[in-house]
Amino acid sequence: MPPFKVVINSKEPGIFIVSLFGSLDTTTHESFEKEVEPLLTESTKAIVLNMEGVTYVSSLGIGAVFKVTNIINKLKGTLLLTNLQPQIKKVFETVKALPESIFTSIEEVDEYLTEIQKKALRKDKPSSL
């Protein structure tokens, strides 16, 4: 079994892509939480959890994702999941722990984030009389 790995990239200020590789389970969930913890600040708008490299998830792994989701929501940010392998998606569906925003690719996430930003800009513009 390959070792668990977390790779964090800043997409733009306040938006991070967190790519996971290996099993998110009893022995790795704390490592995941520790790696993501510095991102859980009020300046973070979104964390994109790229699950493409996750081959197995246990209840503690799901709990870790749920914990991060709760914290980022309290900070008024968003956790987005992308690239879930079928068996991983099935586990999340079974325990009814899927976040609202699940995407099939990073490109789909980019489109979603672009739309959110466009809507925010439209709200901030004063209306013409």
User: Model confidence over 56-81: pLDDT tens digits?
Assistant: 999 899 999 989 999 999 999 988 88
Q: Is the pLDDT of residue 126 over 60?
A: no
- CATH classification (class only), 5-124: alpha beta
Q: Is residue 22 over pLDDT 80?
A: yes
CA 23 to chain centroid:
16
At 4, list the tokens: 């668990």
Q: What is the pTM of this model?
A: 0.80
Q: State the Cα–Cα distance between residues 47 and 57, nearest whole angstrom.
A: 19
How many angstroms separate the CA atoms of 46 and 104, rounded? 17
